[in-house]
Structure 1
Amino acid sequence: MIVSKQVQNVLDFIQKIEIEENLNPWEANRAFYTNFIPLAGKKEAVFQITEQTLSDNNNSINLRIYRPNDDEKQPVIIYFHGGWFNAGSLETHDTPLRQLANATQSTIIAVDYRLAPEHPFPAGLNDCEFVVKWLIENALSINIDPEKIIIAGDSAGGALASSITRKFRSKIAVQLLIYPVTSNDLKTASWIEFQNGPLLDLKSGIQAWDWYLPDNYKNDSDAIPLLANDLSGLPPTFIAVAEYDPLRDEAIQYAEKIKKAEGSVKLNLYKGTTHGFFQMGGFIADSKILMQDMVDFLNNTVITK
């Protein structure tokens, strides 16, 4: 494995992160992940950023809404953040989502779904589903074009995005999956090659799935996208994978499965990069390349049509 100087600088930065010793394992994961924020670089100004809380029975779901302009009936990207199902927040992805809102000139709704292990599957997925239902029902009143709903997510958020797109396929115009989690098997060639990292490792993968997935859901395709067999009729799909990422091969397998179901997929491999580079735009140039690739894909499939 030969990483670029940019990636090596990121790895050096991460190596120096210090976490309080008195935290439990998942709290330590969250603190560690939050410390990645400076890697994303400078925060761009956005026309309007607001926050909203939805209530689903006794559960509150926080949203952050990025509006790049005041146009009527804007395309909308509903975004589910990564973090191995047990970390991540509205803050961890704030910088790249500002950039994505400006680049695509689309409203972005970031979803602060519940995390494991306190809230194992299907709690987080249920939150995401509730938000999408709410948006579909209220699209016009919140100035969203109901014909241009885009589902997106990175890593664990990519797993959630995959399942949500399947559930709402007739309502979704495009899905954007950034190095998505698609399997709990952890036995692909890329998992074997990169079982010790960089960034993700096999031990953390096993722990993440153990926290997230109760025994009675071990074969649930809503949790494990690669197990899904109902992939016909999906919207155009963009999948980004990093060369030095244990998740690389399972994402490629998911792309191939969509193709076998006669779906339209654009699969982009970013060579020399590692998992998480979407959030590392202050260091890694491929983050901006990925951003532009998503803009181009959306322009060709939904936004300008």
Structure 2
Amino acid sequence: MQLSEQVKKALDYIQSIEVPAIENKIAAGRSFYEKFIPMAGTEEAIFKVEQREILAFDQKINLRIYRPSAEEELPVIIYLHGGWFNAGSLATHDRPLRKLSNLSRAIIVAVDYRLAPEFPFPTGLNDGYNALEWVVENAKTLGADLNRLAIAGDSAGAALATAITVRALKNNLNKIVCQALIYPVTDAALQTPSWQEFKDGPVLNYEGAVEAWDLYLPLTERENPAASPLRETALSSMPATLIILAEYDPLRDEGALYAEKLKKSGVQVQQSLYKGMVHGFFQMGGIIEEGNLAIEETAHFLTQNFNK
């Protein structure tokens, strides 16, 4: 691997993270991920950030809503954070989403979906879909233009985002005009060449991936396309899609395969491979300049599709 000084600095930072002794391995992993936050740089000012609570089935779900201006009828993006389905929060993605909201001039509704193993598949997916329904039903109060509705996510959140899009289409909720998927998880099989090439990292590793899928999904569901989007066959009606990949990421090849499958189904796909980048760089813009470039590319893609 040809690692830039910025990437080396980010990896050194990750290596230096100390997590207090916590007996619960899941809690320790979540605490570790929260300590990635400073890598995103300083907290960018934005017109308004507010918290909302919605009822998803029998559970209240937190949303964080970013508003770039006081304008009405703004585009709206539903965002699902990464974290291998068992970690991540509104806090871990706050700084990149502030920047994305300002650049895209769109409202962002970030979903604090419930996490495995306490809430395994399909809970997070259901929570995200419920958030989509809430946005559609409350667009006027939200000040959102439903003709300019997008969904986005990174890593595991990207898997949820694209599965939500598929479900919406199957339910005739044809409101999503585009989706932005940042280094998406697409297949529970973990059999692509990049998983072999980067089985020991950096950032993600094979052992951790196996554990994550075991926490999230029973073996009998591993080929369920709602969990492994690469298995989905009903893709021809999918909206324009951006897929951002990192060269030194074990998820690289499954993301590329999903992009190819979408293209073969007639979907408009914009695919970008960031050379020399590692998984998670979208959240590392305070150290790695390509993290900011990825946010800018995402904003540009969204804006283009909002204005069609």
**Shared topology, TM-score over 0.5?**
yes
Aligned to 1:94: 94
Aligned to 1:110: 110
1:49 counterpart = 2:25: no
State percent identity of aligned pairs: 50
Q: How far is 1:58 from its partner?
A: 2.4
Q: How far is 1:72 from its partner?
A: 1.1
Aligned to 2:20: 20
Aligned to 1:194: 198
For residues 84 and 29 of structure 2, what CA distance do their matches in structure 1 show?
A: 9
Superposed, 1:21-100 pairs within 5 Å as: 21-100=21-100
Deviates more, 1:139-148 or 1:278-287: 139-148
For residues 218 and 194 of structure 1, what CA distance do their matches in structure 2 show?
A: 22
Aligned to 1:120: 120
Among candidates 249, 255, 258, match of residue 245 of structure 1 = 249
For residues 94 and 23 of structure 1, what CA distance do their matches in structure 2 show?
A: 28
Q: So what's the TM-score if we normalise by structure 2?
A: 0.97
Aligned to 1:231: 235
3-state secondary structure, aligned to 1:168? helix
Aligned to 1:284: 288
3-state secondary structure, aligned to 1:103? helix
| Structure 2 alignment gaps of length 5 or more | none
Q: How far is 1:142 from its partner?
A: 1.5
Q: Deviations over 1:191-214 (max 9, x none)?
A: 000000000000000000000002
Aligned to 1:166: 166
3-state secondary structure, aligned to 1:165? helix
Q: How far is 1:298 from its partner?
A: 2.0
Q: How far is 1:168 from its partner?
A: 1.9
For residues 41 and 23 of structure 1, what CA distance do their matches in structure 2 show?
A: 30
Superposed, 1:197-212 pairs within 5 Å as: 197-212=201-216
Aligned to 1:136: 136
Aligned to 1:153: 153
Deviates more, 1:114-123 or 1:140-149: 140-149
Q: How far is 1:291 from its partner?
A: 1.5
* Aligned residue type for 2:232: A
For residues 69 and 179 of structure 2, what CA distance do their matches in structure 1 show?
A: 22
Kindly indicate whether the alpha-carbon contact (under 8 Å) linking 1:140 and 1:146 is maintained by their aligned counterparts in 2.
Answer: no
Q: How far is 1:20 from its partner?
A: 1.9
Q: So what's the TM-score if we normalise by structure 1?
A: 0.98
| Structure 1 alignment gaps of length 5 or more | none
Aligned to 2:299: 295
- Number of residues of Structure 1 aligned to a counterpart in Structure 2: 304
Kindly indicate whether the alpha-carbon contact (under 8 Å) linking 2:189 and 2:222 is maintained by their aligned counterparts in 1.
Answer: no
Provide the aligned C-alpha RMSD in A: 0.9
* Aligned residue type for 1:262: G
Q: How far is 1:167 from its partner?
A: 1.6
For residues 111 and 66 of structure 1, what CA distance do their matches in structure 2 show?
A: 12
Kindly indicate whether the alpha-carbon contact (under 8 Å) linking 2:39 and 2:283 is maintained by their aligned counterparts in 1.
Answer: yes
Among candidates 176, 182, 188, match of residue 178 of structure 1 = 182
3-state secondary structure, aligned to 1:52? strand
* Aligned residue type for 1:22: I
Kindly indicate whether the alpha-carbon contact (under 8 Å) linking 1:178 and 1:241 is maintained by their aligned counterparts in 2.
Answer: yes
Q: Deviations over 1:273-299 (max 9, x none)?
A: 100001000000001111221122123
